[in-house]
Amino acid sequence: MEVLLFSSIIILAVTSTVTSCSPSDRAALLDFKAALKEPYLGLLDSWTGPDCCQNWYGVSCDPTTGRVADISLRGESEDPIFEKSGRTGFMTGSLSPSLCSLDRLTTLVVADWKGISGEIPACVTTLPHLRILDLVGNQISGGMPANIGQLSRLTVLNVADNLITGSIPASIINLKSLMHLDLSNNRLSGTLPADLGKLTMMSRALLSRNQLTGSIPSSLANIYRLADLDLSMNRISGPIPAELGNMRVLSTLKLDSNQISGSIPASLFSNPGLSIINVSRNNLEGTIPDVFGPKSYFTALDLSYNNLKGSVPKSMSNAKYIGHMDLSHNHLCGSIPASSAFDHLDASSFTSNDCLCGMPLRTC
Ligand SMILES: *[C@@H]1O[C@H](CO)[C@@H](O)[C@H](O)[C@H]1NC(C)=O
């Protein structure tokens, strides 16, 4: 009985769907379009006619339901339309809350249009299927929606390169599927949620170039998939949690241009996976931990512009490789250990210390 009913519904659907686009979704898309202006390429001119699932630029639907699943509008893309026109995308206007009636939406990408302003409609947090929210590279202002944590399926949250203010909503820690968080280059203030470490699916957390204050939550060390942590160019203070050095897959740690104090935990330098460390331009003090070894492999190690004292650790000369190293502008003293790992470095890596000597500086 149920099977029969089900198959007759399918037959009905197949036979009766000349247009697959849901009329309410079509209306929502047209409202969304009306709030935007893309003057050069006319991409949104394709949003016309009854079937929003066919040839509407950047729109795709679930073929079985005829519901809009993806809006993917990228102002910088490989699309031949951009190549032919010889320009990148430019769009003004704002994101209409009418979007929020597209309740089967899984992907919302409105990226790199440079001119889209207004706020992120708070109602996006009611889109239960949303997996990707990518609004990078616009002029979006206002705060992050307070209820962002409701988006339990969200894997990508990228609102970088906008003008977003306010603090990081506390609810963000409920985004249990989140893998990629990019809030870089906005005007976010306030502190990092202490329990940010609950986002255990996260592999990249990029929060640089904001006005974030407070200290680095040690809970971040619980994010065992985290490969890339960038908190650079904020106003973060307090110490570097030693736990960060125990993270198994962390490979890039950028904490530069903050107000971080205390000494550098030895665990950072003894972690064989961490290959890019930038702690330049902070208030770090103490000595450089003498824990380098044959497994030490750094593509970049920048400790410049701090208050480090003591000598260049002897063990550094055992490092397998240190590509770009900068120890300049500290208070280091003593002789630089001779090492093939340093052969390619010039004086600028060691300059402006108290009394360093030896190659590549003057002989002791
Ligand atoms: C480290 O950060 C500083 C300051 O933010 C920057 O000037 C420098 O280029 C960075 N170092 C590396 C190796 O990227």
Which of 82, 58, 57, 84 lies closest to 71 in space, CA to CA?
58
* pTM summary value: 0.93
- pLDDT computed for residue 9 by the predictor: 45
- pLDDT computed for residue 78 by the predictor: 83
- pLDDT computed for residue 16 by the predictor: 46
- Which of 233, 277, 304, 325 has the most ligand 1 atoms within 8 A of CB, as the residue to mutate? 304
State pLDDT tens for residues 214-270: 999 999 999 999 999 999 999 999 999 999 999 999 999 999 999 999 999 999 999
Annotation: CATH topology of 28-357: 3.80.10
Ligand 1 centroid–CA 329 distance in Å is 13
- pLDDT computed for residue 83 by the predictor: 84
Average pLDDT score, the chain: 93
- pLDDT computed for residue 11 by the predictor: 42
Atom of ligand 1 nearest to the CA of 233: 5
Task: Spell out which residues line ligand 1, taking CB within 6 angstroms.
Answer: 232, 256-257, 278, 280-281, 300, 302, 324
Quickly count: other Cβ atoms within 10 Å of residue 42's Cβ: 11
Ligand 1 centroid–CA 30 distance in Å is 45
CA angle 324, 326, 328 (to 5 degrees): 160
Asked whether the predicted pLDDT for residue 212 surpasses 90, the reply is yes
- Which of 278, 301, 327 has the most ligand 1 atoms within 8 A of CB, as the residue to mutate? 278
State pLDDT tens for residues 95-124: 999 999 999 999 999 999 999 999 999 999
Q: Are strands 59-62 and 36-37 parallel, antiparallel or unpaired?
A: unpaired
Q: How far is CA 333 from CA 310, 314, 355, in A?
A: 6, 13, 4
Domain boundaries, the chain: 28-357
